[in-house]
Amino acid sequence: MARVDKVSVVVCNYNGEDYLAECLESILALEDEPDEILVVDNGSTDRSVALVQERFPRIGVLALGENGGPCVARNAGMRAARNRWVLAVDNDAILRPDVLGKLRAALDERPEAVAAQTRNVFAAEETRVHYDGADFHYLGLLSLRNFYRPLSEAVGEGIIPSSGLIAIAILLDRDAVLACGGYDEDFFILFEDFDLSLRLKIAGHEILSVEDAICLHRGGTPGISFRGGSYPKVRAYYHSRNRWLLLAKNYRLRTLLACLPGILLYELVWTLFTLRKGHFKAHMAGKLAFLRALPDVRASRRRVQAMRRARDRDLFVGGPLTFSPDLVQSAFARRAAGLLDAAIGSWWSVARWLCA
């Protein structure tokens, strides 16, 4: 009997009227038919809910009434799903028809894994990778694999062990994810998928990337996603706050101390970046919000460390840093990014042996 039998599809939605129909149509066209499809709506103010009710009457809707962020919606969807195995999909994802079958087969083949994610390409440029799995950089960042690389040149084939989950389309063991705390709702948005996948790895679970399970990724979250144009102020705030929430909650104290020189160097450079972009106040507001959250972080930290099965030194890497192409367009920016990456990577060659 297959390990992954019945699957519930849970779509996280907030004001996704422009995306949602195409996403749901791709789910209904899956060659492996899911047992259940549920849209979790995060208090949308557009016609998202009406669209589902009018055009997709077979699909269930869980309306949360207010926007608590994608973490709240994803957790609520996992708890409401009637099956242990949940294909968690964002509303701007378009699944190829064979995606569910390939993710199921990968998890059946690797019984130690609790999650398998798709290879995500740009919907507007299907020959270029957007997100394709990641490693955990010791700075509290994801070192993204194949980021913006042409699909024909992408490294890796078949089923690849991965570390970082990218919350676009993931088939996951709901019970294992919730036992590790689910998505941390204090994050609201940004770094929340990194935080969840790091806790899963700390607890000794395996994560997979399935390179031939292709998902088309559309526009991202308005006001948060950065894909050309200006860097959003709200993103500067959540980057400043949530990265330090992740560090304080998940890293052992000895690891934090060993990595601190690299972390502070990156922090200095990123502070200068926010000054240049006019987001210094948002950056500092994020730091103040992190400090206010510290009492709750200490309680979360105790829970994470109590389930630890893996050493930090075995989880993290020292590079490469991932930069959006929009941030390193000039020769000077590329040179500066390269020097920063080299300095931070060099420190990891020392810090790794000091980590717990």
pTM of the model: 0.96
Domain boundary among 184, 217, 250: 217
Report yes or no: 13 and 41 within 8 Å, Cβ to Cβ: yes
Q: Which helix (H) or strand (E) holds 285?
A: helix 280-306
Q: Is residue 224 part of a domain?
A: no
Compute the residue count for the chain. Answer: 356
- Are residues 347 and 264 part of one domain? yes
Q: Is residue 330 part of a domain?
A: yes
Report yes or no: 163 and 193 within 8 Å, Cβ to Cβ: no
- Are residues 47 and 127 part of one domain? yes
Tell me the longest C-alpha to C-alpha distance in the chain: 59
- Are residues 190 and 52 part of one domain? yes
Distance CA 291, CA 283 (A): 13
Q: Say what the pLDDT of residue 225 is.
A: 67
Report yes or no: 156 and 212 within 8 Å, Cβ to Cβ: no
- Are residues 14 and 104 part of one domain? yes
Report how many domains make up the chain: 2
The pLDDT tens digits along the chain (356 residues) read 689 999 999 999 999 999 999 999 999 999 999 999 999 999 999 999 999 999 999 999 999 989 999 999 999 999 999 999 999 999 999 999 999 999 999 999 999 999 999 999 999 999 999 999 999 999 999 999 999 999 999 998 899 999 999 999 999 999 999 999 999 999 999 999 999 999 999 999 999 999 999 999 997 666 666 655 678 999 999 999 999 999 999 999 999 999 999 999 999 999 999 999 999 999 999 999 999 999 999 999 999 999 999 999 999 999 999 998 888 888 998 999 999 999 999 999 999 999 98
Q: Is residue 228 part of a domain?
A: no
Question: What is the 3 state secondary structure string of 83-124?
Answer: CCEEEEEECCEEECCCHHHHHHHHHHHCCCEEEEEEEEEECC
Cα distances (angstroms) measured from residue 166 to each of 43, 160, 179, 217, 333: 23, 14, 20, 11, 26
Report yes or no: 48 and 17 within 8 Å, Cβ to Cβ: yes
Distance CA 269, CA 5 (A): 48
Q: Is residue 251 part of a domain?
A: yes
Q: Which helix (H) or strand (E) holds 175?
A: helix 174-179
Q: What value, to the nearest 5°, has the Cα angle with vertex 228 and ends 93 and 230?
A: 120
Q: Say what the pLDDT of residue 231 is.
A: 85
Q: Say what the pLDDT of residue 329 is.
A: 83
- Are residues 240 and 212 part of one domain? no
- Are residues 247 and 213 part of one domain? no
- Are residues 240 and 211 part of one domain? no
Q: Which helix (H) or strand (E) holds 10?
A: strand 7-13
Q: Is residue 342 part of a domain?
A: yes
The token pair that represents 19 in the structure block? 């995306």
The token pair that represents 216 in the structure block? 């088309």
- Are residues 202 and 61 part of one domain? yes
Cα distances (angstroms) measured from residue 209 to each of 103, 119, 126, 179: 9, 7, 18, 22
Q: Say what the pLDDT of residue 31 is.
A: 98
- Are residues 320 and 207 part of one domain? no
Distance CA 43, CA 14 (A): 7
- Are residues 191 and 296 part of one domain? no
Torsion of CA 185, 189, 191, 193, to 10 degrees: 70
Q: What is the CATH number of the domain that holds 129?
A: 3.90.550.10
- Are residues 329 and 285 part of one domain? yes
Domain boundary among 217, 246, 271: 217
Q: Say what the pLDDT of residue 156 is.
A: 86
- Are residues 307 and 207 part of one domain? no
Q: Is residue 225 part of a domain?
A: no
Q: Give the domain range for residue 92.
A: 7-217
Domain boundary among 217, 241, 267: 217
Q: Is residue 2 part of a domain?
A: no
Q: Is residue 223 part of a domain?
A: no
